Amino acid sequence: MSVRFAGRRVVVTGAARGIGAEIARRFAAEGAKVAVLDRLAVEAKDVAAEIGGSAHEVDLRDVAGTRAAVRQAIGELGGIDVLVNNAGILRFAALLDIDPEEWDDVFAVNTRSMLVTTQVAARVMIDAGGGVIVNSSSMGGKAGGDGQAHYAASKAAVIALTRASAAELGPHGIRVNCVCPGYVATEMGAATRTAEKIEAWSAMSPLGRLGEPEDVAGVVAFLASDDAAYLTGQAFNVTGGMITH
């Protein structure tokens, strides 16, 4: 594998497992120094040990704690070149049954935390002359979904935040894009993932399968690379063709 990120310093949130862990592995395999941020302390340490990175426990609902964790990670890395805002939570509830507190909880992790981490990282990037931010939205942020109004709305907000961030940070040499994964086989949503649902979801893709964490990690790595130097403010579908808008 190439070493196109040799010497680059990368912070990945929600990297203890699933897509985030695979993103951390991809950057490390391509030469980057990676900080793993997650509330799952043991799993985060395992991933960090595997890739030769550092682990930082953080509950992204805690604004002050999030700022402190990102600052600590950046300090240990000696700076930051890439921020990947991957962390997210999924909740299911019918629209009329969603508790406003649960709505706020989903937005706190899925959207507000990205504002907080971006504010910390972007200030360092501005002083350094540039950087890259990649946010994780979802197919749900474009297409919605039954029983996922809070999740879908939070992910649609990520797309809007990405575009606004790209506009404001571009003059400082900072590119901001987001990925919109479709159905990816991870721990998230595993409790409701029946064989029948897997078959139905797979049939929605012209490729006839669900996504794998590696599929998303590859796109994130591309967006963070110099090959994407003229891309910013975009929301890239990683859905196997399930949606194309």
Tens digit of pLDDT for each residue in 171-199? 999 999 999 999 998 776 666 678 888 89
**Average pLDDT value for residue range 47-61:** 98
Q: Which residues contact 116 (CB under 8 A, 6 or more apart)?
A: 60, 63, 66, 67, 70
Catalytic residues: 151
Return the pLDDT at 187. Answer: 75
Q: How confident is the model at residue 1 (pLDDT cuts 50, 70, 90)?
A: low
| Residue 78 scores a pLDDT above 90 | yes
Got the DSSP string for 89-118?
----B-GGG--HHHHHHHHIIIIIHHHHHH
pLDDT for the residue 190: 65
pLDDT at 218: 98
**How far apart (Å, rounded) are the C-alpha atoms in residues 129 and 144?**
37
Strand 33-38's sheet: what is its strand order? 54-57, 33-38, 9-13, 82-85, 131-136, 174-181, 235-238
The pLDDT tens digits for 116-153 are: 999 999 999 999 999 999 999 999 999 998 899 999 99
Provide φ and ψ at 29, rounded to 5°: -65, -25
Global pTM? 0.96
% residues pLDDT > 70 (the chain)? 98
Tell me the per-residue pLDDT of 199-224, one tens digit each, with 9 for 90 and over. 988 999 999 999 999 999 999 999 99
Q: What is the pLDDT of residue 206?
A: 94
What pLDDT is recorded for position 201? Answer: 86
Give the pLDDT score at 145.
85
Arithmetic mean of pLDDT over the chain:
96
- Domain borders along the chain are 9-238
Is the model's pLDDT at 85 over the cut of 70?
yes
CATH architecture observed for domain 9-238 = 3-Layer(aba) Sandwich (3.40)
Q: Given this model, what pLDDT does residue 235 score? A: 98
CA atoms within 13 A on the CB side of 97: 7
What integer pLDDT is reported at residue 194 of this predicted model?
82
pLDDT for 229-243, tens place per residue? 999 999 999 999 999
Query: What is the percent of the chain where pLDDT is above 90?
Result: 91
DSSP letter at 179 equals E
pLDDT at residue 160 tops 70: yes
pLDDT at 188: 66
N-term to C-term CA, the chain: 32
